[in-house]
Structure 1
Amino acid sequence: MPCDSQSTMSDPDRKIIIDAITRMLARREHSVAEIVKKLAQKEVNEATALQVISEFCEANLQSDERYAEAKVRSSVSRGIGPRRLKAELSQHDISESMTAQAIEEVNPDWYALALAVREKKYGLAEPEDFKQRQKQMQFLQYRGFYQSQIQYAMSGD
């Protein structure tokens, strides 16, 4: 069976896909990969979905760059570190260069964020013992901070 989605896509199908994408993008930015995945759950053919999504991209209604930047801002406000953020963006097929550009655009202070996240969860006091210190460090590691940022947060400077 040919994959020429142009000829096999009926107008009602196209309208359903356009409406679905419009509703998604009205709420928040979505990556192309995320839109394809959500449309696949509605049993929309990937080739057909990509054809319509490309029209949204050309009209600048969908942008992976905007999605990446919004994701960086959202993650920073939720106390998510750079390692976890990069992993989440890569799951959405956002390239490393686009991720780096979005992070550079937002320009978060990861060290200050790690310190703020630690203080919000555990307060200003230094850990009482080795076990407490390890627990706090593991928490920061889970949040996606690099070792140097964790050390900074633990030193409390």
Structure 2
Amino acid sequence: MTDESTPRKKRPLPPVKEAAVAYLSRRDHAEKELRQKLKRRGYSHGDIEQAIDFCQDYKWLDDVRYAGTTIRNGIAKGWGELRIRQEMELKGVNSQVIEQVMAVHEIDWFEHARAVAQRKYGETPMETQKEKAKRFRFMQSRGFDFEQIAYAFDQDEEY
């Protein structure tokens, strides 16, 4: 039984390389994201740099691979290009890497939008303006632009 007034002992931090590898063993991370996590745990800048270099040397940390994984996972979740780009930017992926990876993954975003709309709504017609607005908002929240949404719902007229 401990007295509430006595401070608890802090557990010592594991070596920074071990912590970095532990994060990467759970899932892929962007370099900036891993750097932030290690910093929050209290590691020094120099130690973090060594761990990052170590992980990159062994190809355990690779922003290009991370971006490719993010695109594939985003598509599987029914996200559009805008949402996938936003996700990568939030995780700290360099904009040049994003552009490079997006160019390699040739995705027809219009057909993807149509598939997402079909999966969500099936053949149910949009009978009211309110229903149309609701569906358009849903697709926008998934990261599709107006043209892709209009294509998905076969809408030629102005919104």
TM-score past 0.5 threshold: yes
Contact 1:73 1:106 in 2 (8 A): no
Residues 50-129 of structure 1: matches in 2 within 5 Å?
50-129=49-128
Unaligned runs of 5+ in 2: 1-11
Contact 1:81 1:144 in 2 (8 A): yes
Contact 2:31 2:93 in 1 (8 A): no
How many angstroms apart in 2 are the aligned matches of 1:104 and 1:69? 11
| TM-score normalised per structure 2 | 0.81
Which residue of the partner structure matches residue 36 of structure 1? 35
How many angstroms apart in 1 are the aligned matches of 2:106 and 2:119? 21
Larger proportion of helix: 1
Moved segments of 4+, more than 3 Å: none
Contact 2:21 2:55 in 1 (8 A): no
Contact 2:83 2:144 in 1 (8 A): yes
How many angstroms apart in 2 are the aligned matches of 1:104 and 1:76? 15
Q: Percent identity?
A: 28
Contact 1:76 1:108 in 2 (8 A): no
Which residue of the partner structure matches residue 132 of structure 2? 133
Unaligned runs of 5+ in 1: 1-11
